[in-house]
Amino acid sequence: MNYDLNRVKALVDEIFAQIVALRRQLHRYPELSEHEENTSRLVCDQLSALGIPYRDHIAGYGVTGTIYGRDRGKAVGIRADMDALPISEKADVPFRSQNPGVMHACGHDMHTAILLGTAAVLSKLQNELPYSVRLFFQPSEETIGGARQMIEAGCLEEPATGIVIGLHVDPSLEAGCVQFKAGAMNAASCEFYVTVKGISCHGAHPAAGLDPLLPACEMVMSMQSIITRRLPATDSALITVGQLHSGTKNNIIPAESSFSGIIRTMKNEQRQYLKEQVTEVCQNIARSAGTTCEIKFRDSYPALVNDEALYELMTVAAADVLGKDKVKISNTASLGCDDFAYFCYSSRGLYYDLGTAKPGQTDAAPLHSDMFCPDEEAIRTGILTEAAGVLKIMEEMQNGK
Ligand SMILES: [Zn+2]
Ligand SMILES: [Zn+2]
């Protein structure tokens, strides 16, 4: 397979303005997780216009499209998430969100538009594609893990899709650049909820009751030493308590105190270990205070681990199409999490960062900020790297690797 990157670049130039317009339309009408109805319809309309067969209503509002290559039974997948966040947009842009309290503050409008752009480019090269391309437009990344549900619904079958790539916007990186990380890239996550139960009484007579607030505070403090004393110092992990609730009045000892937080680890097995440690610390402190405590855990996404061979291939493909200076290599994993991780367990997966800061800008608003405002030039970089990446991967597949 001999693919021509200049042709890819010319095709991207042709559609760029149209894809930017699409992104702005998506940005204007953001939809929350599990409610991506109009977004999904727009995706289907665009795929129809490109003559790409698709299936919709997968795991809610998910859509899969297929560009059939010569081998109709084997495919490379590309994933974009489509959901927005419950945030009121403050960014001063002409295409500001028209849906009150909802905003594309994680750039999933960019991801969706980029994948539609990549679909347009690769469908023009359809006759030259040795294998098929699967397009995964995924719902509910921000909440319930739409990726997992789409996989469970069989999106990696027929044609068999053994490789999936995806990207995420990154405002800490300049637009025009991409960044790759070998191996573990994002954390495994777990939520926890702790309730400490005591006996309420007058604040002036604490001995008449059983104060649940003191042991709750001690638990919050002691949890931090789990990280520093029970895990190897070279491993990254964290425990964050984000909520603490107790009582109704300053002179009443409450009957109950509760707090909740998250555990993040770069290794799936350490997530399990930390759950056990959190349980032990909380139960022991509760017992020593004469109180009782209930702990609930809810596992979120597993650790996102990039496939080594795909990492090598994508790094080369990106350098070929963007120039070496635009391709950054990261040695630092993020304790953020992303449900793309599920694709890395059900197929070989590669996730990478797409720079969205304006040239020279060092204070671009972060993800999930009401001021988040990516440089749309990143759309070009996103399409170029997705398209060149898929072509490069197919070349390797032909070589029997
Ligand atoms: Zn997000
Ligand atoms: Zn996101």
Is residue 376 part of the annotated active site? The answer reads: yes
Phi-psi region of 307 (alpha: psi -120 to 50; beta: other; left: phi over 0): beta
CA of 233 to the centre of ligand 2 (A): 29
Instruction: Tell me how many domains the chain contains.
Output: 2
361 in the same domain as 329: yes
Q: Residue 36's domain spans which residues?
A: 5-186+303-398
Same domain, 149 and 201: no
CA of 40 to the centre of ligand 1 (A): 18
Contact assessment for residue 55 and residue 49, using Cβ atoms and an 8 Å cutoff: no
CATH number at residue 92: 3.40.630.10
**Token pair for 354:** 């797409």
* CATH number, domain with residue 295: 3.30.70.360
CA angle 118, 123, 126 (to 5 degrees): 130
d(CA 151, CA 133): 16
Question: 167: which residues sit within 8 A by CB, 6+ positions away?
Answer: 111, 114, 178, 351, 352, 353, 354, 382, 385, 386
Q: How far does residue 301's CA lie from ligand 1's centre (Å)? A: 13
Q: What is the pLDDT of residue 156?
A: 98
Same domain, 69 and 112: yes
Handedness of CA 95, 99, 102, 106 (dihedral sign): negative
Residue 107 CA, ligand 2 centroid: distance in Å: 6
Query: Considering 131, 301, 351, 352, which one is annotated as catalytic?
Result: 301
> Which of 246, 280, 299 marks a domain boundary?
299
* Together in a domain, 217 and 344: no
301 is catalytic: yes
Predicted TM-score (pTM) of the model is 0.93
Structural element, H or E, at residue 283: helix 268-288
Are 214 and 229 in the same domain? yes
Burial category of 298 from C-beta neighbours within 10 Å (exposed 0-12, middle 13-18, buried 19 and up): exposed
Q: What is the pLDDT along the chain (401 residues), one digit of tens a residue?
A: 668 999 999 999 999 999 999 999 999 999 999 999 999 999 999 999 999 999 999 999 999 999 999 999 999 999 999 999 999 999 999 999 999 999 999 999 999 999 999 999 999 999 999 999 999 999 999 999 999 999 999 999 999 999 999 999 999 999 999 999 999 999 999 999 999 999 999 999 999 999 999 999 999 999 999 999 999 999 999 999 999 999 999 999 999 999 999 999 999 999 999 999 999 999 999 999 999 999 999 999 999 999 999 999 999 999 999 999 999 999 999 999 999 999 999 999 999 999 999 999 999 999 999 999 999 999 999 999 999 999 999 999 999 86
98 φ/ψ angles, rounded to the nearest 5 degrees: -100, -5
* Cα torsion through 52, 55, 59, 60, rounded to 10: 90
pLDDT for residue 2: 67
User: Looking at residue 284, what is its pLDDT?
Assistant: 98
Q: What is the reported pLDDT for 165?
A: 98
